[in-house]
């Protein structure tokens, strides 16, 4: 029960960044990644917010619209000015790629930009690898600084490597990225509050300096992070057998989510719905933006006792073979 160092467990940080940047990442080998253990993904975003407010007080943060609602609060409380840019197109229930790129181009140079590394919350809509390449080129041209929030690594495709593709594309293009990682979902460690904030630097001296500065922010907020979650993640990621088992379990979890998406769509079609529901299977990760109106959400709640956020977002993880048919019938009823 001893204190952790201010930056948390060095073993944990080392395993966490290998998961994000790649096992053999030259950036890690050459000491170009400053990593600090955080209070899960929320804590990583907040530490980064405080860090940029302190050192880049004039730079704002661009956020996709919509985004995880807490992003707005986290950066507001850290005194970072946020600007919403286009991301999701309600008409297609897919990515507004043109709008996203236009808004990145129109934003001030040297802005910070928050990207969801995979399985965008709340929409379930991610850019393709080709689109990420184009986004990376725009970010480079505008000298913008990307923060990848990765709360769902493994949840999109079932493969933790594939789910880190966005980050890897930016690294290949030479960006100095920051990454926020959470082990809440992919290791089921919600209450342990275990995550990691990492920042790519120019050289090992800068790594020491950046880690030192972020540590100082942590020192004033909570001094030292908790130990148990870090021990659990380190135990799994440092044992080849346990790591393989974990990969298998993550894949199983993602496959179940994907099969529930197909089942919900086919049950809606079988119930007689003539509406297009392809977005249910096109979107990925834990969430689905159904596209139903707040009034239809209210009917689901009051008439069918099915509960979801008023923006129409459902958690696919809450669907199973025992309730999917009832959900599909209720959805059909309220959207007729």
Q: Which residue numbers are catalytic? A: 68, 149, 185
Q: Which residues of 221-251 are buried (b: 16+ CB within 10 A; e: fewer)?
A: eeebbebebbbbbbebbeeeeeeeebeeebe
CA-CA distance, 137 to 149, in Å (whole number)? 19
Considering the complex, what minimum distance in angstroms separates the CB of residue 120 from ligand PMP?
8
Of residues 181 and 290, the one with the C-beta less far from ligand PMP: 181
CA-CA distance, 223 to 6, in Å (whole number)? 6
Considering the complex, what minimum distance in angstroms separates the CB of residue 334 from ligand PMP?
26
Considering the complex, what minimum distance in angstroms separates the CB of residue 117 from ligand PMP?
9
Interface ranges with ligand PMP (CB under 6 A) = 40-42, 68, 116, 121, 149, 151, 182, 184, 195
Of residues 237 and 331, the one with the C-beta less far from ligand PMP: 237
Instruction: Give first-to-last CA distance, the chain, whole Å.
Output: 58
Of residues 142 and 222, the one with the C-beta less far from ligand PMP: 222
Considering the complex, what minimum distance in angstroms separates the CB of residue 183 from ligand PMP?
7
Of residues 191 and 212, the one with the C-beta less far from ligand PMP: 191
What is the full DSSP assignment across 98-142? HHHHHHHHHSPTT-EEEEESSS-TTT-----HHHHHHHHHHHHHT
CA-CA distance, 224 to 35, in Å (whole number)? 14
The two tokens of residue 234 are 């380190």
CA-CA distance, 53 to 46, in Å (whole number)? 10
CA-CA distance, 317 to 127, in Å (whole number)? 22
Considering the complex, what minimum distance in angstroms separates the CB of residue 277 from ligand PMP?
24
The two tokens of residue 297 are 């959400």
Of residues 166 and 182, the one with the C-beta less far from ligand PMP: 182
CB atoms within 10 A of CB 333: 15
């Amino acid at each position: 029960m001893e204190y952790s160092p201010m930056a948390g467990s060095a073993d944990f940080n080392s395993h966490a960044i290998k998961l994000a940047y790649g096992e053999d990442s030259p950036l890690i080998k050459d000491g170009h990644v400053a990593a600090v253990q955080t209070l899960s993904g929320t804590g990583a975003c907040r530490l980064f917010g405080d860090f940029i407010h302190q050192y880049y007080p004039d730079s704002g943060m661009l956020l996709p619209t919509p985004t995880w609602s807490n992003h707005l609060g986290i950066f507001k409380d850290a005194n970072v000015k946020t600007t919403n840019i286009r991301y999701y197109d309600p008409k297609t229930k897919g990515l507004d790629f043109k709008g996203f790129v236009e808004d990145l181009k129109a934003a001030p140079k040297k802005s910070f930009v928050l990207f969801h590394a995979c399985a965008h919350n709340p929409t379930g809509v991610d850019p393709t690898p080709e689109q990420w390449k184009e986004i990376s080129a725009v970010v480079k041209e505008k000298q913008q600084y990307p923060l990848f929030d990765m709360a769902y690594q493994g949840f999109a495709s079932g493969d933790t490597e594939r789910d880190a593709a966005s980050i890897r594309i930016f690294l290949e293009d030479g960006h100095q990225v920051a990454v926020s990682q959470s082990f809440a979902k992919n290791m089921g460690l919600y209450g342990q509050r275990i995550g990691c904030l990492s920042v790519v630097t120019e050289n090992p001296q800068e790594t020491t300096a950046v880690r030192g500065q972020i540590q100082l922010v942590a020192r004033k907020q909570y001094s030292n992070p908790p130990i148990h979650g870090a021990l659990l993640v380190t135990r799994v990621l440092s044992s080849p057998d346990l790591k393989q088992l974990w990969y298998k379990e993550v894949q199983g979890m993602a496959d179940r989510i994907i099969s529930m998406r197909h089942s919900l769509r086919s049950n809606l079609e079988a119930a007689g719905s003539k509406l297009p529901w392809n977005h249910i299977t096109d979107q990925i990760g834990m969430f689905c933006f159904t596209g139903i109106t707040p009034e239809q959400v209210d009917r689901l709640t009051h008439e069918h006792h099915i509960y979801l956020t008023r923006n129409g977002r459902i958690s696919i993880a809450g669907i199973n073979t025992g309730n999917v048919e009832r959900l599909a019938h209720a959805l059909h009823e309220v959207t007729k």
